[in-house]
Amino acid sequence: MYLVSGPIDPSALLADVSAPDRGGVASFLGVVRDHHAGREVLRLEYSAYPAMAELECEHILAEARGRWPCGVTLRHRLGTLEIGDLAVAVLAASAHRAAAFDACRYVIEQLKRRVPIWKREFFADGTDAWVDPTAASEFAPSRRDAT
């Protein structure tokens, strides 16, 4: 299960991808931040289409393993998350660092694009909004700025 309702433990994932012939491990940890497009964020809520999300995660990880010789895994947390909570973790291990970095980057970028997970932000002014990366509004995160 790649979607979890409780805290993510990156050290447990490290054990999952480690092997005697893998000398480089790259990780991406996505943490809930306190601002978005200039507004103060108090907390986030993640929801998903779990059956499809699990399937899509499996596809993305298989693609990464096919492109780079690596061990790679991920977890994404659902539910209400507070500032500083770990929302997503990707770990990739390979013989050398280049493949580990590339596989890790590939998985997080594809996850954001393809896995049916939705983020709702709760702002300090009492309002809330679903994040829409495709919206041409001031609240749409840029690709670079997005967690």
Partner 1 sequence: MSVSSSDASVTVAVRLFARYAELLGTESLALTLPAGATVGQVIETLRRQPGGALLPPRLLVARNLIQAGESEQVAPGDEVAVLPPMSGG
Q: Which residues pair with 36 in a beta bridge?
A: 39
**For the chain, what percentages of helix, strand and coil (3-state, to nearest 5) are there?**
30, 35, 35
Q: From the CB of 47, what's the least distance to partner 1, in Å?
A: 6
Q: Rounded to whole angstroms, how far apart are CA atoms 101 and 103?
A: 6
Neighbour tally for 125: CB within 10 Å: 9
List the one residue from 88, 93, 99, 100 that touches partner 1 (CB under 8 A): 88
**Which C-beta is closer to partner 1: that of 13 or that of 22?**
13
Residues 35-74: x/- map of binding to partner 1 (CB under 8 A)?
A: -----------xxxx-xxx-x-------------------
Q: Rounded to whole angstroms, how far apart are CA atoms 14 and 124?
A: 36
Q: Which residues of the shown chain bind partner 1 in the complex (CB under 8 A)?
A: 30, 46-49, 51-53, 55, 76, 87-88, 108, 111-120, 130-135, 146-147
